[in-house]
Amino acid sequence: MRNGHTANQAVLDILSQDPAWAAYAIADLRPDLANHCRWHVAPDASGLALLYHGLAPPILLTAGSPEGVAAALSNANLPPELFLSVLPSHLPAVQHHYQRVSPQKMVRMVLPPGKNIPAPTQPTRRLTPSDIDRLDALFHHGGAYAPDAFDSGQLKDGYFFGIEDCNGTLAAAGGTHIVFRSPNPPLTGAIQNASSAICSLHKLISQGVAAIGNIYTRPDRRGQGYGKAVTTSITRALQQEGFSLFVLNVNEQNLVARSIYEKLGFEVHCHFYEGFASKGQ
């Protein structure tokens, strides 16, 4: 059983089997995030559970076979509460440890390599950390699909764009949850005998992995193509920077957003669950 802050070859092998699903976990290999990670791997290296302690409650990400995930969780030091992001086949293993689970059905989408994204039809502007107050004011308008995982630190190294009203307030905005790119991926362990999948993972990280999110349009400005323009600008910026894998999540019930992403060329990769879980009765 592998339990630790550092990802070894067993972890990398599991992550490399489905990079589009494991994109967030792969991005958590970033040196500044690695110390927040606790990797738990099944004895036969068939599945893993990642507990990311950089947020409260911790986030649980799983990958591998259902049996492997169950084995990884069985010897993990699980917190009383967490936020989960798991495949449907992994949910029973989580429910074995957490009596109260409120999963939301989600869709993971990915842009196929080489997909050409046309220029946005609305003017957008690249946002910087100095725009944090304006972003907070925009997101505080709330609603069913308002961003709930935005952190000011995402602006520092992320790709954010917005659309302004004539008075300079933000009418729409969006960006990246997380990005990771390193020409020399800081992955632990010798890889002289690494599998071709792990070598592909190293190449992927050297090109760049990103998760797009925080897309939001103010209620009085919806229906004007702002969300599409913002998403287009983010995606094109990532493409121009050479990123090779970028994914996004959308609530299964948010048909409007999903339609926008599909029109841009994003495709459904898988369905999954996210939500809060606790051990309390």
pLDDT, tens digit, for every residue of 115-155?
Answer: 889 899 899 999 999 999 999 999 999 887 788 778 888 99
Give the per-residue pLDDT at 151. 83
DSSP of 39-65: EEE-TTSSEEEEEETTSSSPEEEEEE-
Give the per-residue pLDDT at 190. 47
Give the per-residue pLDDT at 182. 86
Residue 277 lies in a domain: no
pLDDT single digits (tens) 206-230: 999 999 999 999 999 999 999 999 9
**Residues spanned by the domain of 87:** 2-106
Q: Are residues 17 and 81 in the same domain?
A: yes
Contacts of 270 (CB under 8 A, 6+ apart): 20, 21, 87, 107, 108
Q: Are residues 133 and 256 in the same domain?
A: yes
Contacts of 138 (CB under 8 A, 6+ apart): 162, 169, 170, 171, 172, 173, 216, 218
Below-50 pLDDT ranges, the chain: 1, 190
Give the per-residue pLDDT at 267. 97
**Looking at residue 38, which CATH number applies to its domain?**
3.40.630
3-state secondary structure of 4: strand
Q: Are residues 147 and 258 in the same domain?
A: yes
Give the per-residue pLDDT at 238. 96
